[in-house]
Structure 1
């Protein structure tokens, strides 16, 4: 693939809840615009989801920014009391309903944090949202103890498919404890109830110095599934992008070099590049992504020039 970087959509600055970052861009194609669900941080580093709407023909042109967060942080003691980060938005099982899958942050004492997945519902085309429940939809389980997060969900005939990140270990990277997680897979008939252990569909490669993957993004093109994902390597200390293909969405053939989108020589995406989300708009394919410090400055946009 060959991508041409178009520029940066700046992080929203719309109140105390959004003083920095536009993390994990999650695009949804509307009739006349693209809505990018993101999560912004307040002054204490607590994330809340919002959205930015951009033009179809020029995604660097901002049309609208939501003024208030779509969800607040959870009540004290809940799994998302320290923030909620949106990762996937899909049509729900009921006409007119949408489902938002988000990651809740729960700080630990003997470990740094736990990351578990919650669900929010919208009945007005994604304008307002409410929690499905205050406990995780992907609760921790014996084989996925600390991390059940980074979900990407796709609605297909007969139900819902989820690719997500899971793990039960920590490792030391440059003297700092860092999570270890790999790519797993689940199915659900209604998008709400999921199993407690997913099927492994991409393991970490120790030969590549990997200790974690970031939020996956799956597209179906030319009769195959295309997977865009982030790779965290201990030697780099930051994410890079990867790419893989599959016939069934379960057995993936990695071809990271084919991704063709990497860090810049300088600027806001010179140290890291992550959380790619590809979107087909007419004859063009855009890729939205984050750069340094998990999207501190905003959302990057690239367009594919070889398709």
Structure 2
């Protein structure tokens, strides 16, 4: 597998007090033709993230529109998203479109943590919170912190989710153990958590984030994600495969994309989003500074 980099597509500028920097976790949604609306998580001066968006022409690789205010903002101090909103992907259920997100909390006397929330994407492309309570909160299965959910619908009665869950903040090498778990649902509303999906290896791949999955039960599943090894490296993009979506095999040596020798993605690459368009497979991803340098695009070389 080899991904051909097409370059940095969007470099964020200060466009609003709550969108001063960053364009992390890019989420492309088709508007029409080759035009995509790309939602992302931008930050204010205190690193609290809100949701912004730009329009991208995939044929010309041009940004045709930059929205000058947040589409959705982080919440009040008492909310589960008081310190930020990091978006996952979009799915439909019950006639509505939803965008799941990680809601950040940074308590003054404790470690930061997250829960999963849900936004409604209206027909006019506006966003509003589905519920003031988390869509998925910590429980006995996921007792510490949740992150970056990805949902696909396989049948009318089967939805599948992969999401991040913290096992411990420190495994002894100074890096957290944050794994990718799975869940399933018959309606996209009520979920049965199923535990660990992707195997981890301490010192090799132990801090996972933002899974992106394509495939099905007939052809098999492919997952890309960002990860850290715990040996001091910054984020890289990893790859795993599965025949059934339940048991996954790490294939880090097959990912086919790495940091560049110089430029906007020379230190780290992370937060991939893989999607298909007109017979080609593309990946939006972030580079240096957890999205501070914006997002770029790569295309899968199938030859």
Give the Å deviation of 1:110. Answer: 4.8
Aligned equivalent of 1:148, options 130, 136, 146: 146
Aligned to 1:199: 195
- Scaled by the length of structure 1, what TM-score is found? 0.91
Partners in 1 of 2:244 and 2:39 — Cα distance? Answer: 27
Aligned to 1:16: 17
Deviation track 1:238-289 (CA, whole Å, cap 9, x = no partner) reads 1111111112111112211111100011121111111111121113221110
Partners in 2 of 1:180 and 1:254 — Cα distance? Answer: 16
Superposed counterparts of 1:38-49, under 5 Å: 38-49=40-51
Partners in 1 of 2:249 and 2:229 — Cα distance? Answer: 19
166-175 vs 36-45, which moves further: 166-175
Q: How many pairs were matched up?
A: 299
Partners in 1 of 2:143 and 2:204 — Cα distance? Answer: 23
- When the two chains are superposed, the root-mean-square deviation of aligned CA atoms in Å is 1.9
Runs of 4+ in 1 over 4 A off after TM superposition: 172-175
Does the 8 A contact of 1:143 with 1:167 survive in 2? no
Does the 8 A contact of 2:273 with 2:284 survive in 1? yes
Partners in 2 of 1:64 and 1:227 — Cα distance? Answer: 30
Superposed counterparts of 1:77-116, under 5 Å: 77-94=78-95, 97-116=96-115
Find out whether 1:61 has 2:59 as its counterpart: no
Partners in 2 of 1:211 and 1:86 — Cα distance? Answer: 21
Aligned to 1:248: 244
Q: Which runs of 5+ in 2 are unaligned?
A: none
Find out whether 1:219 has 2:214 as its counterpart: yes
- Scaled by the length of structure 2, what TM-score is found? 0.92
Deviation track 1:82-119 (CA, whole Å, cap 9, x = no partner) reads 1111111122321xx21010111101345420111100
Superposed counterparts of 1:181-200, under 5 Å: 181-195=178-192, 197-200=193-196
Q: Which runs of 5+ in 1 are unaligned?
A: none
Partners in 2 of 1:232 and 1:42 — Cα distance? Answer: 25
Q: 1:102 to 1:271 in 2, by over 3 A?
A: same
Does the 8 A contact of 1:182 with 1:204 survive in 2? yes
Give the Å deviation of 1:191. Answer: 2.2
